[in-house]
Amino acid sequence: MKRWTPVEVLWNDAHGGDLGWGAIKASHRCPSGIRTVGQMEHYDDDGITVVLSHDLGAKNNDAYIFIPASGIVKVTELRKAP
């Protein structure tokens, strides 16, 4: 997949909480999946980095997320607008 390709990433995230002293009320399983959409900056065996905005002139990025490979369910290349 080419750098800056629009992608949709479906992935499972960790969860937790700080309830103070008391019983754990969350289930011991992955919550519903997370959907991230953006531009693929880098994708390898470690995971994927998805960027929301990329300045074509200055080559700067804004709002990115790294998703570890262990959490990735599916990566789909999105069709570019005509």
Q: Give per-residue pLDDT as tens, 27-53.
A: 777 767 899 999 999 999 999 999 999
What pTM does this model have?
Answer: 0.81
| Backbone dihedral angles phi then psi of residue 60, each to the nearest 5 degrees | -100, 155
Average pLDDT over residues 64-78: 96
Residue 81: the pLDDT is 62
Instruction: Give CA–CA dist 41/63, Å, rounded.
Output: 12
Say what the pLDDT of residue 38 is: 96
Sorting pLDDT into bands at 50, 70 and 90, what band is 66? Answer: very high
- Region 14-31: what's the mean pLDDT? 76
- The arithmetic mean of pLDDT across residues 53-76, rounded, is 93
| Residue ranges of E strands in the chain | 5-11, 34-44, 47-54, 61-68, 72-77
What is the residue extent of each domain of the chain?
A: 5-77
